[in-house]
């Protein structure tokens, strides 16, 4: 029924593999970086906090595509030879990190003060209170936002094609340039992205409802 | 420092043009997306079952596939149908159709979170269904979801950068061209980031003021 | 800790509050409070809402800082100490070690929702005192039995009623073997039929000789359990004395008015 899509499907799926790998790297590293920075922002001193605030403000306020261009052009300018993937991956990790850091900071602030007061009243010190009481509760609050951020990041890996990293969207454009079958190919590619994203999307929504503690 | 000054005076006109294009695309796409979002929630409010399901499917597809591919679909697909629309028009339509879907989800969750009691209160004083929706439900839902709507609009502004991928000379493409011409990647990045931050933080500020006002008036 | 080096107070006061003053920006909430509590004494604080009872109580374990005055718990200074004639905040370590001796129970329970009932009670001994798990478990189970909650040891707090949560919160505080227990309106958030089970636990504690400072609106508890009642209003102590004396024969209009309002509620 869709001959062009069918004959090019293996090629596109190869692209999809690259998309999935890139997404997995960006999401896992970005989440780890963001959670770390979010925790630092909550325990650190005033100077550290304002540096982190500036980082979050900058990276959340500028399009990811611009950050990708920055990564792509500025590593060579610093004398580092990186391929497009590495440049894109690093840029996106830093970008995703800013979103996760903000979510983490919010989740930590969202743990009720009664919890920290109860912990203090037992004679608990700050570090232990963070580990034992605040973080376990904040991490539950942060799962749903992180899933949504991951979803955003997976879709944004398609922008890597603009700076020249070959993945699903890049492959799609190549095929369309060759075959001109824009509808078949791009709709097919949207479907492939949908298959990658939809389970996460469902999980995010289900968790949104379920993860709040009964009180 | 001098290098910075020279760079900026040399390329400022280009960045100003790019900034205007980006602001223009956002100014077209944001209202279009909002209107589209309201259109998309009508079937649910009116309880048109089949149309609602269609809208649900549309929203899911939009939420779960990249804007870039949707934009390519229009830009490379429409000419096959004999429609030779400019890249700006294709970009605006693509942005409005994805963000309209996101915005309608936000509006919908706002409406759902309003209690059944609001409906009953409305019907009890004898309002017809659409009057209840227009006078009671929509204004309240709107206020409730203002922060989420605002965040989504900021994402929309950033997403206008994708029109650079179909050749619109916006801020992002200006930045890229400047880097390629001058090799000054950091300077160009700082200039581009600066202009985007002006747009996103001004919008953020305006939205915050609206939120506070609305909360004061209706809260 | 270094008990021998700590200044020994003249009396056998467990808690001594002297000239305590505190403001929130321009609002002076505590205007010079003096209260002392002896070992084994149960002091009930009464007073209209907004009179500074919670603030005073929270100063005792330094959840709240204060501007003037001193508080000591077993002779150890709370929050500040004098160094060469100037008042300096004590370190976070000192605050933490002091709080080990002061148990606190909150109006809103504040159990840790991500831990079971048993884990909540074991939290202090294991994570603060470094006690090994099996010993802490024994202590926790005994305390849970004492508050009648051993059958819910493995439940999560979210599954319990308010009264049950509050009894667990009391057990959690007791697990640190504090020298004094602070209760801040611990029955105010409860449905009326659940108040009794919590008051019963508190009454038993008092009978065992626990030193307690109890902020409450339960007049019956004040009358029946308190060794001394302190009436606060507008950030000062207006009256204090044994309940049978001052509650039957209040000396001030303010306390009389307060009593008549609250006793009529009870009747
Ligand atoms: N964090 C705070 N900031 C400003 N004012 C406060 C704060 N906490 C309490 N207050 C004020 O201090 C006064 C005493 O409060 P509180 O100690 O809670 O009274 P009580 O427990 O007797 O009802 C009240 O007027 C209250 O509004
Ligand atoms: Mg109070």
* pLDDT for residue B139: 75
Q: What is the pLDDT of residues C24-77, one digit of tens each?
A: 999 999 999 999 999 999 999 999 999 999 999 999 999 999 999 999 999 999
* pLDDT for residue C8: 47
Tell me the C-alpha distance between B97 and B205, whole Å.
25
* pLDDT for residue A210: 64
Q: Which residues from A are below 8 Å from C102, CB to CB?
A: 121
Chain A residue closest in CA terms to B203: A61
| Tokens standing for residue B193 | 């980031």
Would you kindly state where each structural domain of chain A is located, as residue ranges? 1-211
H/E segment holding residue C179:
none
Q: Average pLDDT of B136-162?
A: 87
pLDDT beyond 70 at A187: yes
pLDDT, greater one: A68 or C267: A68
Contact between A63 and B60 using a beta-carbon 8 Å cutoff: no
Q: What is the residue-averaged pLDDT of chain B?
A: 88
**Alpha helices (runs of H) in C6-102, residue ranges in sequence order:** 53-60, 92-99
Chain A residue closest in CA terms to B172: A66
Task: Average the pLDDT over each of A27-36, A180-189, B88-97, B113-122 and give the range with the smallest value.
Answer: B113-122
**Ligand 1 midpoint to CA C50 (Å):** 6
Burial class of residue C94, CB neighbours in 10 A (0-12, 13-18, 19+): middle
Chain C residue closest in CA terms to A214: C158
| Smallest CA separation from ligand 1 atom 21, residue | C54
Q: Which residues from A are below 8 Å from C108, CB to CB?
A: 114
- Is B113 an 8 Å CB contact of chain A? no
Q: What is the pLDDT of residues B157-201, one digit of tens each?
A: 999 999 999 999 999 999 999 988 888 888 888 889 999 999 999
* pLDDT for residue C191: 93
* pLDDT for residue C197: 95
A63 to chain B, closest Cα gap in Å: 5
Q: Which residues from A are below 8 Å from B69, CB to CB?
A: 158, 169, 172, 186, 189-190, 193
Which atom of ligand 1 has the smallest separation from the CA of C57? 17
> Residue B12's pLDDT band (boundaries 50, 70, 90)?
confident
Residue pair A166/A18 in contact (Cβ under 8 Å)? The answer is yes
Q: What is the pLDDT of residues A96-132, one digit of tens each?
A: 999 999 999 999 999 999 999 999 999 999 999 999 9
Q: Which residues from A are below 8 Å from B193, CB to CB?
A: 58, 61-62, 66
Residue pair C233/C46 in contact (Cβ under 8 Å)? The answer is no
- Is B47 an 8 Å CB contact of chain A? no
Residue pair C153/C141 in contact (Cβ under 8 Å)? The answer is yes
Domains of chain C in start order, with CATH, are 12-262 (3.40.50.300)
The Cβ of residue B127 has, within 10 Å, a number of other Cβ atoms equal to: 16
CATH class name, domain A1-211: mainly alpha
- Residue C26: CB within 6 Å of ligand 1? no
- Is C127 an 8 Å CB contact of chain A? yes
pLDDT, greater one: C185 or B109: C185
pLDDT beyond 60 at C2: no
| Smallest CA separation from ligand 1 atom 4, residue | C24
| Smallest CA separation from ligand 1 atom 7, residue | C24
Q: What is the pLDDT of residues C76-108, one digit of tens each?
A: 999 998 888 899 999 999 999 999 999 999 999
Contact between A122 and C113 using a beta-carbon 8 Å cutoff: no
pLDDT beyond 60 at C4: no
* pLDDT for residue B122: 65
Interface probe for A, chosen from B15, B64, B173 (most Cβ of A below 10 Å), is B64
Tell me the C-alpha distance between A20 and A14, whole Å.
10
* pLDDT for residue A214: 43
Chain A residue closest in CA terms to B75: A182
- Residue C45: CB within 6 Å of ligand 1? no
Tell me the C-alpha distance between B36 and A21, whole Å.
35
Q: What is the pLDDT of residues C199-243, one digit of tens each?
A: 999 999 999 999 999 999 999 999 999 999 999 999 999 999 999
3-state secondary structure of C14: strand
CATH among 3.30.70.20, 1.10.3720.10, 3.60.20.30, 3.30.420.40 for B14-216: 1.10.3720.10
Q: What is the pLDDT of residues A9-58, one digit of tens each?
A: 999 999 999 999 999 999 999 999 999 999 999 988 999 999 999 999 99
The Cβ of residue A116 has, within 10 Å, a number of other Cβ atoms equal to: 18
* pLDDT for residue C3: 43
Q: Which residues from B are below 8 Å from A69, CB to CB?
A: 172, 175-176, 179, 189
**Ligand 2 midpoint to CA C45 (Å):** 11
Sign of the dihedral defined by the CA atoms of residues C197, C198, C200, C205, in that order: positive
Interface probe for C, chosen from A113, A114, A118 (most Cβ of C below 10 Å), is A118
- Residue C76: CB within 6 Å of ligand 1? no
Q: What is the residue-averaged pLDDT of chain A?
A: 92
């Amino acid at each position: 029924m869709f001959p062009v899509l069918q004959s090019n499907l293996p090629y596109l799926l190869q692209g999809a593999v690259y998309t999935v790998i890139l997404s997995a790297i960006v999401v896992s590293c970005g989440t780890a970086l963001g959670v770390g920075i979010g925790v630092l922002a909550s325990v650190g001193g005033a100077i550290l906090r304002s540096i982190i605030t500036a980082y979050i403000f900058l990276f959340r306020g500028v399009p990811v595509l611009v950050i990708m261009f920055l990564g792509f052009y500025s590593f060579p300018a610093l004398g580092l030879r990186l391929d497009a993937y590495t440049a894109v991956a690093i840029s996106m990790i830093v970008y995703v990190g800013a979103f996760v850091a903000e979510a983490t900071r919010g989740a930590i602030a969202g743990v009720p003060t009664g919890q920290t007061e109860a912990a203090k009243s037992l004679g608990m010190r700050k570090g232990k209170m963070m580990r034992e009481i605040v973080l376990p509760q904040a991490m539950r609050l942060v799962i749903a936002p992180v899933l949504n951020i991951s979803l955003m990041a997976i879709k944004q890996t398609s922008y890597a094609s603009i700076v020249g990293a070959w993945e699903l969207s890049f492959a799609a454009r190549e095929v369309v340039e060759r075959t001109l079958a824009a509808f078949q190919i791009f709709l097919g590619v949207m479907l492939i992205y949908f298959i990658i994203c939809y389970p996460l999307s469902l999980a995010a929504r289900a968790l949104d409802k379920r993860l709040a503690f009964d009180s | 420092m001098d290098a910075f000054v020279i760079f900026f005076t040399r390329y400022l006109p280009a960045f100003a043009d790019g900034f205007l294009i980006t602001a223009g695309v956002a100014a077209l796409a944001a209202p279009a997306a909002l209107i589209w979002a309201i259109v998309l929630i009508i079937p649910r409010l009116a309880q048109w079952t089949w149309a609602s399901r269609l809208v649900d499917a549309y929203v899911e597809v939009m939420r779960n596939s990249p804007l870039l591919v949707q934009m390519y679909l229009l830009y490379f697909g429409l000419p096959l149908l004999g429609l030779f629309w400019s890249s700006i028009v294709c970009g605006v339509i693509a942005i409005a159709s994805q963000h309209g879907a996101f915005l309608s989800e936000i509006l919908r969750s706002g409406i759902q979170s309003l209690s059944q009691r609001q409906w009953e209160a409305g019907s009890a004083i004898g309002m017809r269904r659409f009057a209840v929706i227009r006078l009671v439900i929509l204004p309240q839902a709107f206020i409730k979801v203002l922060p989420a709507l605002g965040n989504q609009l900021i994402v929309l502004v950033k997403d206008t950068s994708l029109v650079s991928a179909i050749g619109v000379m916006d801020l992002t493409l200006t930045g890229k061209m400047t880097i390629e011409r001058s090799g000054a990647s950091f300077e160009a990045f700082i200039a581009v980031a600066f202009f985007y931050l002006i747009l996103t933080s001004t919008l953020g500020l305006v939205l915050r003021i609206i939120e506070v006002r609305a909360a004061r008036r209706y809260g | 800790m270094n008990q021998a080096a700590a200044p020994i107070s003249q009396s056998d006061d467990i808690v001594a509050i002297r000239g305590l003053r505190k403001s929130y920006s321009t609002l002076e909430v505590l205007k010079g409070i003096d209260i002392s509590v002896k070992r084994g004494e149960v002091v009930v604080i009464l007073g209209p809402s907004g009179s500074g009872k919670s603030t005073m109580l929270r100063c005792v374990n330094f959840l709240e800082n204060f501007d003037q005055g001193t508080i000591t718990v077993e002779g150890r200074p709370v929050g500040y100490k004098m160094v060469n004639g100037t008042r300096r905040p004590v370190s976070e370590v000192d605050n933490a070690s002091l709080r080990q001796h002061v148990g606190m129970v909150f109006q809103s329970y504040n159990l840790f929702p991500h831990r079971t009932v048993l884990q909540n009670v074991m939290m202090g001994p294991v994570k603060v005192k470094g006690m090994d798990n099996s010993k802490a478990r024994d202590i926790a189970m005994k305390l849970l039995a004492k508050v009648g909650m051993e059958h819910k040891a493995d439940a999560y707090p979210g599954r319990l009623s308010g009264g049950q949560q509050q009894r667990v919160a009391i057990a959690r505080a007791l697990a640190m073997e504090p020298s004094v227990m602070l209760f801040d309106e611990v029955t105010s958030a409860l449905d009326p039929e659940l108040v009794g089970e919590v008051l019963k636990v508190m009454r038993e504690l008092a009978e065992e000789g626990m030193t307690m400072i109890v902020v409450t609106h339960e007049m019956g508890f004040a009358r029946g359990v308190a060794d001394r009642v302190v009436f606060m209003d507008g950030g000062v102590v207006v009256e204090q004395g044994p309940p049978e004396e001052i509650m039957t024969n209040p000396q001030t209009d303010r306390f009389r008015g307060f009593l008549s309002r609250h006793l009529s509620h009870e009747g």
